[in-house]
Amino acid sequence: MANQQEVRRTVYRYRGHVQGVGFRVNAIQQARGLQVVGFVRNEPDGDVLMDVQGPRKEVEELAKRVQSSMSLKINEVLIDQRDPLPDREGFKIRY
């Protein structure tokens, strides 16, 4: 992974018809080949939360891929920049 100052952590909250449509599995597939870590999970309120960390361009590329592939299901995306977390590994579905 890149140096700490090059690492970006972004939390995306997707709203719309995003649960029960393969959103999380799609996010994992879209992350293949990208140097990102973090997780994607369903939220109790019906949203999907994607917490992703990595080089800025890789994080943005994942968000672009997810948006493009799931655009018909997404009504709104809330984006929150956060401080990177140490020792994260893999990009997974969290339950």
Catalytic residues: 24, 42
Buried b (16+ CB within 10 A) or exposed e, 14-40: bbbebbeeebbebbeebbeebbbbbbb
Q: Compute the distance between CA of residue 14 and CA of residue 46 in angstroms, rounded to an integer.
A: 9
Which residue spans within 1-95 are E strands per DSSP? Answer: 7-16, 37-42, 48-55, 74-82, 91-93
